Amino acid sequence: MSFIILLVSCDAEDKYVDIPLQDKSGKIVIEGNVTDEDGPYEIKVSRSINAMSNTDNYPVVSNAKVTLNDNHGQTEELVYDSADKVYKTQNFHTSPGDTYTLTVTVDGVSYKATSTMPEFVQLDSLEQETMKILGEDIIMVVPTFTDPSTPGNKYVFKSQTGRLRPIEYEVVSDQSKNGETISAPIMSNYKLKKNDTVLVELQSVDQPIYNYFKVLPNSSAENNPGDIIPSNPPSNISNGALGYFSAHTSSTQFIIIN
């Protein structure tokens, strides 16, 4: 039964993507999100490092020009926050269904990404289940939500167990359960135990972001966007930049393992 449940998060058309490690050091890396929640929204600009480097300290780019605009003519240039080392909006507003364009210019070279924010989908509940996998009892967190009736919806689960463990990402689509209630167990890299707190965010995303995070677990041992740079997942940013720009809705809950 557990194998059947796990199939919920798989698409028939999805195929494993083998991405060889490459030396992409020095390339521009952009990581940013706008959501249906209130800002400020943050964009991080840095440079990649060699795949074999024994560090996760990526050189921050603090002299970029970063702008956001939408399909209604709203536009804003973001301000660099030297304390947080990110570019932040001041008065930018968002709404599901709108399309957002991010433009980052570094040393005269412009990088652009466009993302459309899907409709909001509520994370209904989080439950814990114990499943036997390869003869071992494994505690899993199982989010449940109701997919809208329109087909083609894509989702990213962003989860974290405690504050000191890396963020993990998993993708789910509605291909096999369009318009139905979907329960998809989260396959954590960590063995959950009693009193662990697990924070789960359901992001409703567009196709390019789904593609990015689908490849991400194959590209990074810890599934952390800051650690995937050498593997080069399919970015939605132009001109050879790495990373992603996502416009998505957000619904978050937490559970304490008992």
pLDDT tens for 222-248 read: 444 444 444 568 999 999 999 999 999
Statement: residue 36 has pLDDT above 90? yes
Question: In this model, does residue 5 exceed pLDDT 70?
Answer: no
Task: Give the pLDDT score at 50.
Answer: 61
Domain range 28-116, its CATH number among 3.40.50, 1.10.3470, 2.60.40, 1.10.10: 2.60.40
Provide DSSP, 142-197.
Answer: EEEEE--SSS--EEEEEEEESSSSPPEEEEEE-SSSTTSEEE--B--SS---TT-E
Of 229, 166, 174, the closest CA to residue 13 belongs to: 174
Q: Write down the pLDDT at residue 163.
A: 79
Q: What is the pLDDT of residue 204?
A: 98
Numbered ranges of CATH 2.60.40 in the chain: 28-116
Which span out of 15-24, 34-43, 166-175 was modeled with the highest average pLDDT? 34-43
Region 21-44: mean pLDDT is: 86
Confidence of residue 131 (pLDDT cuts 50, 70, 90): confident
86 near 44, Cβ under 8 Å?
A: yes
